[in-house]
Amino acid sequence: MKKVGVAILGLGVVGGGTYRILESHREFYQKTQNVDIFVESVLEIKREKALALGVPEEKIASNIAEVVADPDVQIVVEVIGGIEAAREYVLAALHAGKTVVTSNKELYCKYSHELEAAAKRHNAGLYYEGSCVGGVPIIRTLLDGLQANGIESVVGIINGTTNYILTKMGNEGASYEDALKEAQALGYAEADPSSDVDGYDASYKLSILASLAFHTKIPLSQVYREGIASVSAEDVRYGKQLGYVLKLLAVGKNTAEGIEVRVHPAFVPASHPLASVNDAFNAVLVHGDAVGDVMLYGRGAGELPTGSAVVSDVIYAATHSENKYSPFKNSEEAEKDVKFVSDFKSCYYLRMTVTDHAGVLGKIASALGKFGVSVGELIQERNRGAGTATLVLVTHGTAESAIRNAAAKIDELDIAKVDAVLRVAF
C-alpha cells in the first residue's frame, strides 16, 4: 500500500481538526482509499498545544526547513492563517516539490498567482478546498462536478459569523450590537470582528470562487464590499414584514456586460432556498447554463468541517498522480480583455423619514421617476407625535447609480431623509 507522509503547519482550530481526523481515520483510509496517510510532523510554536493534542514529542518539528527537508513528507498542510509566515512556508514547501494543501483564503486570494506559479515550476500539487465554505466541497464541485457548464452566477452565504448575527437579528429582533456580543461569547466572532462583519472574509472567498467559476482571475480589488455593521434591527423588521430575510450575500455574475462581484447585505425573499440558511450554516447557489440551479449547503467553518475539506484534499492529492493548476491564466491582476461591471442592477429597499404632509409621497415618487426608478412595494407608518412618517419602499430593478442619484435628490427636497438603502436580491 502506498504510504503518504503529511506535515501540518499550525495546530489552531483547523490544524487541530485536521490532525484529529487524520489520526482517527488512518485505518479507514487504508481500507476505503487504499492509501496509508500518516502525520509525519507538525510545526507549532506552542509545543504544549501539540502535546495536548497527543502529538508524540518526536513529531514536533523545530522549523520549516526541517519539515521540508524530510523526505517522508509528501504533503504539507498549511493551516496557520494570515499572510507572512504562511506565504513563506508554503513557498518553501512548493520549492521543495511538496504538495501543499491550504485552508488560507486570504493567502490564496492574494497570492494565488505566485503560489500556482511556484507549484507548476516544481511540479507540486496545490489544493485549497478548505479556504472556501468550510466542509462544503464547492471547489471540487466547480472543478470536477459542474465543469461541463458555463457558470452564469455564484451566489452564496459564505460567512458564518455574519449569518449567525443576521439570523439572531431576524428571528429575535436583536440589535446588531447585542447579536455580535452573543456571537463573540459563543466563539463565532472574534474579539476584533472586522474581518467577518466588514465583509473581508467573504470577499476573499468570493474572489476565489468567482475566479474558478468564470475561468479568469478576479482580483480582490474588483470585489465591491460592504459589511453588516450598520444594519439596523428596524430594517430587518421592515424587511420581514415585506417577506424578506436579510443575509450577507456574496454575488458573482458573468453576463454579456461583464463580470460583477460584490459582497453586501441583501434582502432575500423568504421562499428562496438561501433564505432558510440559518445560524453558522453556509450555502452556495451556482447557476450553470446546462444544469440550471445547484445549491450546496453545510457548515462553513469549524474544526472538523474545515478539517474535512483539508483532509479530502490530502486524500485527493495522495490518490491522484496528476497535478492540476489553476484552470485559467493566473496573474496578479485581471486579464486585460475582461470587463467588470461596477454600476450593477438590483432591486432596492429604501427607508426614509418623511414629513407627514399631503403630497409628500407624490414628490418622492416623482424624484425616483426622474431617475427611472419605479416602486414595487411600499409601507408607510405614521410616527405618532413626531409629525413625521416612516416610508419603506422596494423598487423594481434599477442601476446602483440611479438609486444613489435618486436618494440624493430626495434628501435635497427637504421633506424626506433617506435613512437606509439596502439591496434586494432575486
Please give the positions annotated as active site.
Answer: 205
Interaction between residue 4 and a copy of itself (CB under 8 A): no
CA distance 134 to 282: 8
Buried-state track 295-327, b at ≥16 Cβ within 10 A, e below 16: ebbbbbbbbbbbbbbbbbbbbbbbeeeeeeebe
Minimal distance, residue 6 CB to a copy of itself, in Å: 12
> Comparing C-alpha atoms, which of 13, 43, 38 is closest to residue 26?
38
Please select the residue that binds a copy of itself; options are 312, 326, 346, 395, rule is CB under 8 A.
312
The answer to whether 265 touches 94, Cβ cutoff 8 Å, is no
Interaction between residue 314 and a copy of itself (CB under 8 A): yes
Closer residue to a copy of itself, CB minimum distance, 96 or 119? 119
Interaction between residue 423 and a copy of itself (CB under 8 A): no
Please select the residue that binds a copy of itself; options are 3, 46, 320, 357, rule is CB under 8 A.
320
Closer residue to a copy of itself, CB minimum distance, 271 or 374? 271
Please select the residue that binds a copy of itself; options are 97, 145, 173, 243, rule is CB under 8 A.
145
Minimal distance, residue 288 CB to a copy of itself, in Å: 6
CA distance 2 to 91: 26
Please select the residue that binds a copy of itself; options are 127, 224, 297, 348, rule is CB under 8 A.
297
Please select the residue that binds a copy of itself; options are 85, 304, 375, 420, rule is CB under 8 A.
304
Minimal distance, residue 69 CB to a copy of itself, in Å: 28
Minimal distance, residue 423 CB to a copy of itself, in Å: 23
Interaction between residue 147 and a copy of itself (CB under 8 A): yes
Considering only residues 20-39, where is the footprint of a copy of itself by CB under 8 A?
A: 21, 25, 28, 31-34
Closer residue to a copy of itself, CB minimum distance, 258 or 376? 258
Closer residue to a copy of itself, CB minimum distance, 118 or 280? 280
CA distance 199 to 263: 7
Interaction between residue 167 and a copy of itself (CB under 8 A): no
Considering only residues 103-142, where is the footprint of a copy of itself by CB under 8 A?
A: 129, 134-137, 140-141
Minimal distance, residue 277 CB to a copy of itself, in Å: 9
For residue 121, give the DSSP letter: H
Interaction between residue 2 and a copy of itself (CB under 8 A): no
All three cell numbers of 341, joined, read 461591471
Minimal distance, residue 290 CB to a copy of itself, in Å: 4
The answer to whether 126 touches 116, Cβ cutoff 8 Å, is yes
Q: Left (φ > 0), alpha (ψ -120 to 50) or beta: where does 420 sit?
A: beta
Beta carbons within 8 Å of 102's beta carbon, 6+ residues apart? 77, 78, 79, 86, 90, 108, 126, 127, 128, 130, 131
> Comparing C-alpha atoms, which of 248, 243, 244 is closest to residue 193?
248
Q: How many CB atoms lie within 10 A of CB 216?
A: 18
Beta strands in 230-359 (DSSP E): 244-255, 258-269, 281-288, 292-299, 345-355
Considering only residues 224-263, where is the footprint of a copy of itself by CB under 8 A?
A: none
Interaction between residue 292 and a copy of itself (CB under 8 A): yes
Interaction between residue 296 and a copy of itself (CB under 8 A): yes
Interaction between residue 294 and a copy of itself (CB under 8 A): yes
Interaction between residue 150 and a copy of itself (CB under 8 A): yes
Stretch that binds a copy of itself, among 160-168, 240-248, 291-299, 388-396 (CB under 8 A): 291-299
Interaction between residue 338 and a copy of itself (CB under 8 A): no
For the chain, the C-alpha Rg in angstroms (whole number) is: 24
Q: How many of the chain's residues bind a copy of itself (CB under 8 A)?
A: 54
All three cell numbers of 291, joined, read 444544469
CA distance 227 to 164: 14
Interaction between residue 369 and a copy of itself (CB under 8 A): no
The answer to whether 303 touches 13, Cβ cutoff 8 Å, is yes
Q: How many CB atoms lie within 10 A of CB 131?
A: 25
Q: Which residue has the cell 522549523?
A: 63
Residues in the site for a copy of itself, rule: CB under 8 A?
17, 21, 25, 28, 31-34, 129, 134-137, 140-141, 144-150, 215, 273, 276, 288, 290-299, 304-305, 307-312, 314-316, 319-322, 324, 327-328
